[in-house]
């Protein structure tokens, strides 16, 4: 209910306790005499205070600040030769959905217009279960081994002593992982602060697999192009905006939907035949790389439209739980080790953040029968499957496995070991170089200046290291960043021998 609706729509009603008993006095606590202490028997006061203490739930470890809306996905092109997923079964078919967009590093109260990547999470309520597409507004990511994800998170969040965001921590980590340069270049570019959630693209980033009705597997990357057009803020515009409005993304999305200006994204896929994975010159499951569109062109799939604001933010947005392990027949995983780790991390976080029965919260609940045999647990709010058998196999034909949905085997070879990605593939700089070279000179200048501002008071040796990384991608990139930082390029390029990280287990940049 928006502010203007409240007066007309709030029915006169009676205040009760949580268990429905009338509240006779909501203004005056019960005391012994007009000026005396409280009485323990003021149960309504006790209930109010106790409830208030429990109204906060843990915020998400990352992507804590976000906005959400309900909508519809409509198929516009037949891709059934790639996927048997019911959601894609017919052109024109509509599926109900929910979306949540986020900033990543900021806490729940952070300002929206910050230089950061954005989360782009979609939940599709299909008739064969919920499919969650948990992506970002960038096609690549900072790291390509999940062991580094907790470190990334700590490096971009607050310093343990100062409780301030630290340019030194942030850039020390990023520059020690040369594979991060692609993502860093995107975040520091003119696209690093989207004007709003409506004005950015979305990507699965990872490679997933699609499986068709002949049980053939295809490797797939998903793209969601904004039909509102890309619009961004400069650092200066964002600074002014944040001074006036810390919730600019939330306001923009909410207001657009209220005025029926429904935002839309076109979903497309890049499709790689299964056996190409061994032949493609790029590592097809490396999250720090894109597949070139000339190699794997975009194939249209459908339209995402957001057309309904949640009636209650906490109920639907804060309690929403997106997890890459929520997959449906026809859509599956790939060997990307980052994706594999995410198959554990999300539901685990949600069992902690929302409880073991978070799948029953309406925004998360499947819109098809759920027969899982999971029972009990805190906050169970349905009939808990009553007295039906709660084990399988059973002799009563209750809830048998559905072997017709078995996936084709995924070919995997190799010895179990701590394989070093850097030994396997040290092609860190080709794609950031291409991205840099695609930029117009004025965009390159913006990239240099954004980088210099973001590096702020980071230690000089870290700035030198970043200059060396940028130089390895393109000498003009290194020179531009050095100049914007007011540092001598030749000194930076010769400074590797003085880098305190020399000899550390992390692979050093050039």
β-bridge partners, 69: 99
Catalytic residue among 136, 137, 169, 309: 136
Number of neighbours of residue 17 by Cβ within 10 angstroms:
12
Residue 63 interacts with ligand HEM (CB under 6 A): yes or no: yes
What is the distance of C-alpha 475 from the center of its chain? Answer: 33
Q: Which helix (H) or strand (E) holds 72?
A: strand 66-75
Residue 310 interacts with ligand HEM (CB under 6 A): yes or no: no
Query: Using the rule CB under 6 A, which residue among 121, 180, 290, 470 binds ligand HEM?
Result: 121
List Cβ neighbours of 241 (8 Å cut-off, separation of 6 or more): 113, 233, 248
Residue 464 interacts with ligand HEM (CB under 6 A): yes or no: no
Residue 63 bears catalytic tag: yes
Query: Using the rule CB under 6 A, which residue among 45, 241, 345, 479 binds ligand HEM?
Result: 345
* Min CB(461)–ligand HEM separation in Å: 28
The strand pair at 299-308 and 129-136 is best described as unpaired
Query: Using the rule CB under 6 A, which residue among 110, 349, 370, 484 binds ligand HEM?
Result: 349
* Min CB(100)–ligand HEM separation in Å: 4
Residue 135 interacts with ligand HEM (CB under 6 A): yes or no: yes
* Min CB(33)–ligand HEM separation in Å: 49
Residue 205 interacts with ligand HEM (CB under 6 A): yes or no: yes
- Tally the C-alpha atoms within 13 A of residue 357's C-alpha that lie toward its C-beta: 14
Alpha helical stretches, state H, 282-356: 313, 337-353
Task: Answer whether 171's CB lies under 8 Å from 181's CB.
Answer: no
Residue 373 bears catalytic tag: no
Residue 221 interacts with ligand HEM (CB under 6 A): yes or no: no
Structure-block tokens of residue 96: 């109900």
* SS3 (DSSP) at 211: strand
Query: Using the rule CB under 6 A, which residue among 173, 197, 322, 477 binds ligand HEM?
Result: 322
* SS3 (DSSP) at 305: strand
Residue 106 interacts with ligand HEM (CB under 6 A): yes or no: no
Residue 134 interacts with ligand HEM (CB under 6 A): yes or no: yes
Q: Closest-CB residue for ligand HEM?
A: 119
* Min CB(460)–ligand HEM separation in Å: 31
Q: Rounded CA gap, 93 and 158, in Å?
A: 45
Buried b (16+ CB within 10 A) or exposed e, 185-199: bbbbbbbbbbbbbbb
Using CA atoms, how far residue 385 sits from 125, 366, 389, 398, 399, in Å, is 22, 16, 9, 12, 12
Q: Rounded CA gap, 241 and 233, in Å?
A: 9
Residue number with CB closer to ligand HEM (225 or 320): 320
The answer to whether 477 is annotated as binding is: no
Say how many residues touch ligand HEM, by CB under 6 A: 28
* SS3 (DSSP) at 308: strand
* Min CB(321)–ligand HEM separation in Å: 5
Q: Rounded CA gap, 241 and 112, in Å?
A: 10
Q: Which stretch binds ligand HEM (CB under 6 A): 1-9, 318-326, 400-408, 502-510?
A: 318-326
Considering only CA atoms, which of 106, 133, 292, 118 is closest in space to residue 191?
Answer: 118
Residue 350 interacts with ligand HEM (CB under 6 A): yes or no: yes
Residue number with CB closer to ligand HEM (312 or 388): 312
Residue 421 interacts with ligand HEM (CB under 6 A): yes or no: no
Query: Using the rule CB under 6 A, which residue among 25, 38, 61, 376 binds ligand HEM?
Result: 61
Which residues contribute to the site for ligand HEM (CB under 6 A)? 60-63, 66, 100, 102, 119, 121, 134-136, 141, 146, 149, 205, 287, 320-322, 338, 341-342, 345-346, 349-350, 353
Annotated binding site: 346
Binding residues for heme: 346
For the annotated catalytic residues, the residue numbers are 63, 136
């Amino acid at each position: 209910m928006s502010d203007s609706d409240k007066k007309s729509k709030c029915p006169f009603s009676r205040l009760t306790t949580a268990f429905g008993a009338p509240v006779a006095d909501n203004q005056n606590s019960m005391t012994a005499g007009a000026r005396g202490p409280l009485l323990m028997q003021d149960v309504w006061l006790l209930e109010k205070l106790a409830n208030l203490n429990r109204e906060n739930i843990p915020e998400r470890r990352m992507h804590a600040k976000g906005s959400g809306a309900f909508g519809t996905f409509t198929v516009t092109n037949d891709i059934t030769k790639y996927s048997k997923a019911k959601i894609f079964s017919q052109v024109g078919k509509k599926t109900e959905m929910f979306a949540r967009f986020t900033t990543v590093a900021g806490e729940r109260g952070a300002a929206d217009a910050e230089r950061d990547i954005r989360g782009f999470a979609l939940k599709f309520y299909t008739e064969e279960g919920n499919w969650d597409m948990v992506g970002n507004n960038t096609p690549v990511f900072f790291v390509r081994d999940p062991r580094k994800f907790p470190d990334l998170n700590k490096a971009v969040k607050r310093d343990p002593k100062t409780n301030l965001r630290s340019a030194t921590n942030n850039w020390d980590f990023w520059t020690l992982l040369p594979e991060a340069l692609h993502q860093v270049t995107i975040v520091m570019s003119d696209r690093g602060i989207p004007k709003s959630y409506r004005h950015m693209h979305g990507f699965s980033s990872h490679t997933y697999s699609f499986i068709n009705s002949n049980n053939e597997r295809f490797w797939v990357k998903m793209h969601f192009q904004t039909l509102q057009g890309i619009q961004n803020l400069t650092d200066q515009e964002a600074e002014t905006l944040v001074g006036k409005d810390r919730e600019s993304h939330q306001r923009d999305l909410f207001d657009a939907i209220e005025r029926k200006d429904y935002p839309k994204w076109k979903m497309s896929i890049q499709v790689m035949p299964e056996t190409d994975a061994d032949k493609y010159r790029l590592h097809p499951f490396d999250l720090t790389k894109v597949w070139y569109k000339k190699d794997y062109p975009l194939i249209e799939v459908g339209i995402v439209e957001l057309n309904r604001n949640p009636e209650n933010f906490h109920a639907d947005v804060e309690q929403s739980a997106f997890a890459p392990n929520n997959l449906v027949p026809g859509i599956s995983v790939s060997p990307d080790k980052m994706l594999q780790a995410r198959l554990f991390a999300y539901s685990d976080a949600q069992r902690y953040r929302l409880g073991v029965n978070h799948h029953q919260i309406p925004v998360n609940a499947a819109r098809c029968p759920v027969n899982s045999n999971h029972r009990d647990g805190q906050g169970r709010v349905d009939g808990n499957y009553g007295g039906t058998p709660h084990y399988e196999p059973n002799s009563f034909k209750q809830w048998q496995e559905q072997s017709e949905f078995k996936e084709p085997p995924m070919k995997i070879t190799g010895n179990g070991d701590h394989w070093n990605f850097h030994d396997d593939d040290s092609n860190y700089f080709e794609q950031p170089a291409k991205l840099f070279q695609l930029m117009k000179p004025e965009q390159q200048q913006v990239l240099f200046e954004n980088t210099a501002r973001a590096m702020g008071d980071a230690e000089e040796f870290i700035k030198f290291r970043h200059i060396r990384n940028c130089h390895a991608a393109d000498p003009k990139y290194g020179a531009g960043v050095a100049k914007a930082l007011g540092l001598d390029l030749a000194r930076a390029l010769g400074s590797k021998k003085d880098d305190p990280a020399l000899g550390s287990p992390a692979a050093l940049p050039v």
